[in-house]
């Protein structure tokens, strides 16, 4: 039984390999016409082996293929066919070493290397070797897989067999993708994409138009396989839009050909891609179609995998009750059929539902039960140990989400030990990430830093830049927790440089998120806003719309902080300062994006910042309904810190309305919750209202004739709710049951501090210079840059200069930016002066 009940089982091995169905058809026909009884029996056995393989009966396929191969010993073509089927079946039941040994022996048995027939047999064996070595093998074998595939390509090209040359390219692409999976290196995916595009050309109708019908079907099938490969490679490079498009094309071809198994595999894969894009309804539809097919084919392994994907789609679409009904129904059917593999899959999916219902302990117990049931399946020893380690690691994640940090740490350590015994390097490093988050939540920053260093060493040994970048982000979290903000800033820049070098948008966005948060902590709201804005653009480009919405909220908070820090006393009948207008517009945009993302908690936070900016802009009466709606969400989701912040905000609205008694009542509610969660800053802000300090200051200002905008300090919970969130970064965003983030609390202005408007003439030259420098450094990837340095010489290439000019145009609306900007004003200082001279607001 393949290890299909474990998480992350990819369809790639099946969908990227040369099918053996043609061999089955060929020998079924031969068995009807063969006069030799022995050869007829061999053909019958081989056709039955292919049929058993199609039913996912791997062991039966192996036995029948062995029988056929033994009989075909003296028949070259029959022995070659049987060898191919046997190698594929052995690979399917995880007997890769035997499959590879069989293939290498078959190569040595070829005695007429110059004949076309022997060349074809050699190419087929080489391709079988490449397919067997590509998945779940050590690095040296994956390297061999590429070499074997390259030799097969050369032979098929020499023979002029375009269809088989296309399939050999698929084998090479498969090996390259797996090399990238085990140690993310962009070059592997780029090479695989090149091979897949070449395969598409070779499978094109014009190339196969004169072929027999069965070969035309083989070419059409190859086209679908190449599209699947492109979907997989594009997804690994974070081009999810292209990935979804390719997978849809492939699914349509499988349906056209009537290949139900392949269609279902593609649909399940498509569903996961759609979830990545936030297309929950589409993902649900794809998952439902895939599950229906797998049920019809009676493939319990893939029913379990698809069930979990479908449950995720339902949960993300807030259909918890429907997800519960689905898993209960499937579990009952699996138990009735005594299908142990199906039961394991249903337990895994049920754990997801229970976690969404808020019971992390019960969810973890279900995974433990799945491991116990897994012992009763036909998994081989190593398969079971890998499954056990994977499920133990997932239990740790459940405990982490449920804020059971000691349990999370212990299970992560257990999973790490299990992976270490199997020398699963990538999984070891990934599990260290969970350990780091548990340490941070348990206030063990030093241990967290030690574990991030261990993970970095593993990734460096693998030359896995993506993993290394993620580990540095975790390291940034630990440093931030320890209060070493300068070093954390350097590490965040280092992570960003790594991701930028690999063109990994999500990682770069996460790094910018951390930088934004660190700048916020240091009180540099302008830089915080710049980093958040760039991260928002990156997440939009990567089609990560929830993260985009989150960074819009972060940008709005930073701009609000900037307005608070710059706003001097100004009167309600005066023109609103531009810095306040920008903050208000950013807040409205963040709420729009949060609503588009349909993220309730994110909407809660966005409504808060909208409410604060409206109060600051003398529209406090518009803030009340937003605060009430946010408060309802906070109470429903047990977000106590946010509830306290919202009661404080209600108190400040009451002050604007002259309802001092109500203000004190709300401030007392706020103070009590802040005391419960241990937030001293929040307690102090509430106390100022309760004791009347704030009101006394207001009266003094009134006596002096000052009518200031009601000050709205940064909510005490915001900076610590979404500080360095480990792998997910702050841009992981809020989520139910999410552990508190590690970011130190940002110093917020006093609740009684008056707002200060910017100078009437717009931003100062110094402010413009800082903004220009920040944008330039972000594009160059530099930590420092002289104002008089020529930007083109400092590393701003022609492509980046276009983005630089576009960003400046958006940042300083109304300022003319000539196409010769970089030549007319080569330095940051000259560009800033040009902007200042032409600024109109």
**pLDDT digit string, tens, across residues 773-795:** 888 887 777 767 888 888 877 77
Residue 797 is predicted with a pLDDT of 72
Tens-digit pLDDT profile for residues 582-638:
999 999 999 999 999 888 899 999 999 999 999 888 888 899 999 999 999 999 888
Residues 582 and 677 in one domain: yes
Alpha helices in 422-542 (DSSP H): 425-441, 445-462, 465-481, 485-501, 505-521, 525-541
For residue 790, the SS3 value is strand
Tens-digit pLDDT profile for residues 330-380:
999 999 999 998 999 999 999 999 999 989 999 999 999 999 998 888 777
Dist. CA 191–CA 176, nearest whole Å: 7
Q: Work out the average pLDDT over 259-270.
A: 95
Give this prediction's pTM: 0.78
Which residue from 192, 784, 217, 747 is spatially nearest to 525, judged by alpha carbons? 747
The CATH number of the domain holding residue 804 is 1.10.1200.10
Residues 779 and 704 in one domain: no
Beta bridge partners of 790: 827
Residues 664 and 808 in one domain: no
Residues 770 and 723 in one domain: no
Tokens 């660190």 belong to 518
Residue 699 is predicted with a pLDDT of 52
Count up the domains in the chain and report the number. 2
Residue 310 is predicted with a pLDDT of 96
Residues 492 and 580 in one domain: yes
Determine the structural domain holding residue 583 and report its residue range.
464-730
Whether residue 35 lies inside any domain: the answer is no
Residue 752 is predicted with a pLDDT of 28
- Number of other residues whose CB lies within 10 A of the CB of residue 93: 20
For residue 827, the SS3 value is strand
Residues 649 and 789 in one domain: no
The C-alpha R_g of the chain, in whole angstroms, comes to 31
The CATH number of the domain holding residue 473 is 1.25.40.10
Residues 588 and 695 in one domain: yes
Residues 715 and 819 in one domain: no
Residues 631 and 543 in one domain: yes
| DSSP 8-state assignment for residue 211 | S
* 818 backbone dihedrals φ, ψ, rounded to 5°: -65, 155
Q: Work out the average pLDDT over 572-579.
A: 73
Give the percent of the chain with pLDDT over 70. 87
Whether residue 234 lies inside any domain: the answer is no
Whether residue 634 lies inside any domain: the answer is yes
Q: Work out the average pLDDT over 143-159.
A: 94
Give the percent of the chain with pLDDT over 90. 54
Among the three residues 730, 750, 779, which one is the final residue of a domain in this structure? 730
Dist. CA 761–CA 575, nearest whole Å: 12
Tens-digit pLDDT profile for residues 638-660:
889 999 999 999 998 988 888 88
């Amino acid at each position: 039984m393949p290890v299909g009940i474990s998480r992350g089982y990819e369809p790639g091995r099946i969908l990227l390999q040369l099918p053996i169905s043609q061999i089955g058809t060929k020998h079924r026909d031969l068995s009807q016409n063969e006069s030799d009884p022995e050869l007829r029996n061999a053909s019958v056995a081989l056709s039955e082996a292919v049929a058993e393989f199609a039913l996912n009966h791997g062991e039966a396929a192996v036995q029948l293929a062995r029988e056929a191969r033994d009989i075909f010993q003296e028949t070259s073509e029959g022995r070659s066919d049987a060898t191919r089927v046997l190698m594929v079946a052995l690979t399917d039941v995880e007997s890769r070493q035997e499959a590879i040994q069989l293939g290498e022996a078959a190569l040595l048995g070829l005695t007429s290397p110059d004949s076309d027939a022997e060349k074809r047999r050699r190419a087929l064996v080489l391709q079988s070797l490449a397919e067997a070595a590509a998945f779940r093998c050590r690095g040296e074998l994956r390297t061999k897989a590429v070499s074997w595939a390259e030799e097969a390509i050369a032979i098929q090209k020499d023979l002029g067999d375009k269809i088989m040359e296309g399939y050999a390219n698929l084998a090479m692409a498969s090996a390259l993708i797996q090399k990238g999976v085990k140690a993310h290196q962009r070059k592997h995916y780029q090479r695989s994409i090149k091979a897949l595009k070449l395969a598409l050309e070779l499978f094109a109708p014009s190339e196969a138009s004169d072929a027999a019908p069965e070969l035309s079907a083989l070419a059409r099938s190859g086209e679908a396989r190449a599209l699947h490969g492109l979907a997989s490679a594009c997804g690994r490079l974070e081009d999810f839009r292209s990935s979804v498009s390719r997978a849809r094309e492939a699914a349509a071809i499988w349906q056209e050909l009537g290949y139900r198994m392949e269609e279902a595999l593609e649909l399940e894969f498509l569903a996961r891609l759609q979830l990545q894009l936030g297309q929950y309804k589409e993902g649900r539809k794809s998952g439902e179609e895939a599950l229906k097919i797998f049920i019809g084919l009676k493939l319990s392994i893939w029913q379990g995998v698809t069930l979990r994907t479908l449950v995720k789609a339902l949960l993300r679409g807030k259909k918890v009750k429907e997800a519960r009904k689905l898993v209960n129904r499937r579990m009952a059917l699996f138990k009735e059929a005594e299908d142990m593999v199906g039961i394991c899959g249903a337990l895994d999916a049920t754990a997801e539902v229970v976690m969404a219902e808020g019971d992390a302990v019960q969810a973890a117990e279900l995974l433990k039960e799945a491991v116990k049931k897994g012992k009763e399946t036909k998994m081989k020893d190593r398969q079971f140990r890998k499954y056990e380690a994977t499920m133990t690691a997932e239990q740790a994640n459940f405990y982490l989400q449920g804020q059971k940090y000691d349990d999370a740490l212990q299970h992560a350590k257990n999973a790490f030990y299990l992976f270490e015994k199997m020398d699963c390097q990538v999984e070891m490093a990934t599990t260290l990430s969970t350990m780091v988050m548990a340490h941070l939540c348990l206030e063990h920053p030093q241990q967290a830093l030690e574990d991030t260093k261990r993970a970095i060493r593993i990734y460096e040994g693998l030359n896995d830049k993506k993993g290394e970048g993620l580990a540095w982000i975790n390291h940034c979290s630990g440093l931030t927790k320890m209060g070493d903000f300068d070093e954390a800033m350097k590490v965040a820049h280092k992570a960003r440089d790594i991701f930028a070098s690999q063109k990994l948008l999500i990682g770069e966005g996460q790094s910018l998120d951390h930088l934004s948060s660190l700048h916020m902590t240091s009180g540099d709201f302008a830089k915080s806003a710049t980093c958040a804005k760039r991260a928002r653009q990156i997440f939009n480009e990567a089609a990560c719309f929830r993260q985009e919405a989150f960074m819009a909220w972060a940008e709005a908070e930073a701009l609000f902080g900037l307005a608070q820090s710059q706003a001097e006393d100004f009167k309600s009948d005066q023109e609103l300062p531009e810095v306040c207008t920008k903050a208000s517009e950013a807040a409205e945009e963040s709420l729009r994006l949060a609503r588009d993302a349909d993220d309730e908690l994110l909407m809660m936070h966005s409504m808060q910042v909208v409410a604060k900016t409206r109060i600051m802009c003398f529209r406090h009466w518009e803030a009340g309904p937003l605060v009430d709606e946010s408060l309802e969400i906070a109470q429903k989701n047990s977000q106590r810190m946010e509830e306290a912040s919202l009661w404080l905000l209600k108190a400040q609205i009451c002050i604007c309305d002259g309802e001092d008694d109500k203000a004190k009542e709300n401030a007392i509610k706020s103070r009590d919750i802040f005391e419960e969660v241990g937030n001293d800053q929040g307690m102090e802000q509430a106390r100022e209202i309760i004791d009347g300090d704030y009101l006394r200051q207001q009266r003094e200002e009134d006596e002096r004739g000052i009518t200031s905008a009601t000050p709205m300090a940064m909510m005490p919970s915001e900076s610590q709710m979404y500080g360095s969130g480990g792998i997910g970064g702050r841009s992981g965003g809020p989520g139910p049951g999410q552990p508190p983030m590690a970011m130190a609390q940002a110093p917020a202005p006093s609740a009684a501090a008056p707002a200060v408007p910017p100078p009437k003439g717009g931003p100062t030259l110094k402010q413009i210079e800082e903004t220009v420098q920040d944008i330039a450094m972000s594009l160059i990837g530099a930590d420092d840059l002289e104002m008089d340095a020529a930007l083109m010489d400092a590393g701003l290439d022609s492509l980046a200069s276009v983005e630089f000019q576009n960003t400046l145009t958006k940042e300083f609306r109304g300022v003319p930016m000539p196409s010769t900007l970089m030549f007319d004003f080569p330095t940051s200082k000259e560009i800033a002066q040009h902007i200042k001279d032409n600024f109109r607001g």
